[in-house]
A and B are shown apart, each in its own frame.
Chain A
């Protein structure tokens, strides 16, 4: 499988109101030991040939993440993450 996985997360200093809304709902499930929830996006890129990390990094940097507010990590599926 020639798949590269890109994880996009809001930078730590950017407020995540969706994550906060989820965190605030947890007590209703009886969960009281969670201090924070942050929501990101996982993107799977399937290459026709060999997985190309450099190409994936370019795609992530130019389009998948907005560097003003987001960080990303990329990895070949099954391998450990490489931080951008």
Chain B
């Protein structure tokens, strides 16, 4: 199975995301921001970094990149898309996910290993976790404070669309400790901490991040069987 990883000018974690996809057992396909062709990938990761130098707002310019037009269309059609950190910001700017990521409440960049509780385990990217599983993955952001109006927050909680919450300390002031959310269909997930940095004992605090990448492979395999055994 082919997981596409987009590189924007200013992306930082595209290499690690591609590596995580390979370690999970997928073929990693590098996608370029200026190329609208998705090269037949089965899923897409929008990686962390500072696309277009965070000009205007984080993710605001990336949202209009040629590759994003294809991804927005495909995501509406069910393509699994995972946005990590800057990728989460891009998904919000593209209105594929509700809410927005704003400046950390304390104004400091935070870079640390972070405990999360996984809540929604019915998404394309989290079906390999058990409900309320506690995982440890790195967080590193300056603008990771998730905000939305109370009605949207209530709906996210009522519909089981909170993918993960910060536990043992909220690193950025996110409302209701929200670290990640999903769309109504469960194929689009945005998460602020970095699962792709927790896939190997040598470099990560755990292997917990791998679950996001193995989950999407599992979900694709299941869909393939339903669709008649194609990949």
Contacts and interface: CB of A to CB of B under 8 A. Distances in A.
A63 B64 contact: yes
Interface string A58-84: 000001101011000000000000000
Contact of B106 (A14, A17, A69): A17
A63 B60 contact: yes
Contacts of B57: 66
B102 interface: yes
Contacts of B98: 68
Range for the number of chain A residues in contact with chain B: 10 to 19
Nearest to B107: A17
Interface residues of B, number: 19
Nearest to A16: B103
Tell me the dominant secondary structure on chain B's binding face. loop
A37 interface: no
A68 B104 contact: no
B107 A66 contact: no
Contact of B56 (A13, A14, A21, A63): A63
A1 interface: no
Contacts of B103: 17-18
A2 interface: no
Interface in B134-158: 147-149
Contacts of A15: 102, 105, 147, 173
B56 A64 contact: yes
Nearest to B105: A17
A68 B56 contact: no
A21 B107 contact: yes
B99 interface: yes
A68 B106 contact: no
Given A14-B147, A63-B56, A63-B60, A68 B107 contact: no
Nearest to A43: B56
Interface string B163-205: 0000000000100000000000000000000000000000000
B100 A68 contact: yes
Interface of B: 56-57, 60, 64, 92-93, 98-100, 102-107, 147-149, 173
Given A17-B105, A63-B60, A69-B100, 19 more contacts: A13-B149, A15-B147, A17-B103, A17-B104, A17-B106, A17-B173, A21-B107, A63-B56, A64-B56, A66-B57, A66-B60, A66-B93, A66-B100, A68-B92, A68-B99, A68-B100, A68-B147, A69-B102, A69-B147
Interface of A: 13-15, 17-18, 21, 63-64, 66, 68-69
